[in-house]
């Protein structure tokens, strides 16, 4: 094959283009290189180590405030290099204020839930600490994963709320694209798995502390437990032998109720919609048609589980999900297998009804 001829770029980009060209050819077999709309553009050959080569180039360019983007164009692999977008600095004061506000609303909710206990202040503190830990672990899972993959992201923004939950959860803002689909999968996988693990611990501690009551008829508002919470209750709670006849209800301890909320939050986050955690995973594992079908099924299901979330999910589904910088390399086989764990977590967190909404 004859050596590639490098077309002369515009004068203002000459030095930059030559450096970029050298870095790209050090990692890829370049078929063609040129300037397109003032953007260094290369067509590169398919190669066994495509993903690894892109990551090495990504690290080289990142130190120079440049970003590579790899896409398929007409069955060819196109690689472009653009300036790294400016990122507005975060304002930690906002995170702290929202954190303190959410601690306050969860304490209030915990006190409201612990009204009949011997010490409602202790119950409020336990509920707040447990729920904030679950939500914080979920979001810090995202944050640490983002740091590991070089994705710029904020610290968690907690969202205060009123009873019966005391919070609308927490979010982190992703300020740059994931380098590849492995990283995008990890971002969607890490939060639910870490948050769910802590939720299980909180539930195991809280269920034995819960009270058992016998009533003649069901109260107007009861919660249907997720499958895992129901399993834990059946195996961790011992029914007294002298229970009177009637309907047996479990009055969840504040810790157990925090576990319930944690499971509901996990289930909602794993819906394969938009930029929810499940949406990240679906984006890298499924094709366009399959993602659309799964999104429709998820939104319809939410109408029966928590209808306000169905509205939110619908609007999230209307926004195109951003792809990774490397949208050519497939997600690794290990991560495909790991997605089974997310399916298991989702099923265990499903509740037949969530009438609190």
* Span 62-79, pLDDT tens digits: 888 899 999 999 899 999
Residue 321: predicted pLDDT: 77
**Whole-angstrom distance, CA of residue 325 vs CA of residue 335:** 18
Mean pLDDT of 137-164: 94
pLDDT average, residue stretch 153-163: 93
Under DSSP, the state recorded for 116 is T
- Return the half-sphere exposure (C-beta side, CA atoms, 13 A cut-off) of residue 174: 25
296-325, pLDDT tens digit by residue? Answer: 888 888 887 777 778 878 887 887 778 999
- Burial readout 316-331 (b: 16 or more C-beta within 10 A, e: otherwise): bbeeebebbbbbbbeb
Q: What is the pLDDT of residue 91?
A: 86
Ramachandran angles phi, psi of 32, nearest 5°: -160, 140
pTM to 2 decimal places: 0.87
Nearest to 21 by CA among 12, 65, 9, 338: 9
- What was the pLDDT predicted at 232? 95
pLDDT (0 to 100) of residue 11: 35
Mean pLDDT for all residues in the chain = 87
How much is the average pLDDT of 13-28?
80
pLDDT at 339 over 80: yes
**Model confidence at 14: pLDDT above 50:** no
**pLDDT value of residue 158:** 96
CB 43 within 8 A of CB 28: no
Per residue in 255-285, pLDDT (tens digit) is 999 999 999 999 989 999 888 899 999 999 9
**Which pLDDT value is given to residue 114?**
76
Mean pLDDT over 90-117 rounds to 89
**Predicted pLDDT of residue 356:** 39
β-partners of residue 41 are 34, 80
pLDDT of residue 102: 97
Give the C-alpha separation, 58 to 182, whole Å: 14
Strand arrangement, sheet containing 30-36: 30-36, 39-44, 76-83, 66-73
Which has the closest alpha carbon to 222: 164, 266, 263, 168?
164
- Dist. CA 7–CA 297, nearest whole Å: 50
Output the pLDDT for position 205: 96
Q: Tell me which of 43 and 222 has the higher pLDDT.
A: 43
At residue 118, the pLDDT reads: 62
Residue 26 vs residue 242, higher pLDDT: 26
| Predicted pLDDT of residue 117 | 60
pLDDT in tens, 38-56: 899 999 999 999 999 999 9
Whether 7 has a pLDDT exceeding 50, the answer reads no
Q: How far apart are the first and last CA of the chain?
A: 66
At residue 353, the pLDDT reads: 53
Determine the Cα–Cα distance for residues 195 and 74; give it in Å rounded to an integer.
42
Per-residue confidence band for 13, with pLDDT thresholds at 50, 70 and 90: very low
């Amino acid at each position: 094959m004859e050596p590639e001829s490098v077309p002369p770029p515009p004068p203002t980009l000459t030095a930059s283009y030559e450096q970029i060209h050298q870095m790209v050819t050090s990692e890829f077999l370049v078929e063609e290189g040129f300037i397109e709309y003032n953007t260094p553009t290369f067509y590169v050959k398919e190669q066994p180590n495509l993903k690894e080569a892109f990551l090495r180039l990504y690290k080289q360019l990142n130190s120079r405030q440049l970003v590579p983007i790899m896409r398929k164009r007409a069955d060819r692999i196109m690689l472009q290099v653009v300036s790294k977008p400016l990122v507005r600095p975060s304002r930690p004061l906002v995170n702290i204020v929202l954190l303190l506000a959410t601690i306050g609303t969860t304490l209030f909710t915990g006190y409201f839930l612990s009204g009949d206990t011997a010490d409602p202040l202790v119950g409020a503190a336990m509920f707040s600490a447990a729920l904030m830990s679950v939500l914080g672990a979920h979001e810090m899972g995202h944050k640490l994963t983002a740091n590991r993959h070089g994705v710029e992201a904020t610290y968690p923004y907690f969202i205060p709320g009123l009873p019966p939950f005391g919070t609308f959860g927490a979010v982190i803002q992703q300020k740059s694209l994931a380098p590849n689909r492995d990283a995008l999968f990890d971002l969607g996988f890490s939060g639910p798995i870490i948050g769910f693990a802590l939720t299980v611990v909180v539930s195991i501690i809280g269920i034995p502390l819960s009270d058992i009551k016998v009533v003649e008829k069901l109260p107007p508002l009861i919660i249907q437990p997720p499958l895992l919470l129901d399993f834990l209750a059946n195996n961790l709670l011992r029914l007294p032998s002298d229970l009177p006849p009637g309907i047996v209800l479990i009055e969840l301890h504040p810790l157990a109720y925090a576990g319930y909320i944690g499971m509901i939050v996990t289930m909602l986050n794993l819906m394969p919609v938009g930029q929810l955690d499940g949406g990240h995973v679906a984006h890298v594992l499924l094709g366009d048609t399959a993602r659309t079908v799964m999104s429709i099924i998820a939104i319809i299901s939410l109408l029966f589980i928590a209808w306000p979330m169905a509205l939110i999910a619908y609007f999230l589904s209307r926004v195109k999900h951003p792809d990774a910088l490397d949208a050519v390399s497939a997600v690794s086989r290990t991560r495909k297998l790991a997605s089974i764990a997310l399916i298991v977590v989702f099923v265990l967190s499903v509740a037949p009804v969530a009438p609190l909404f």
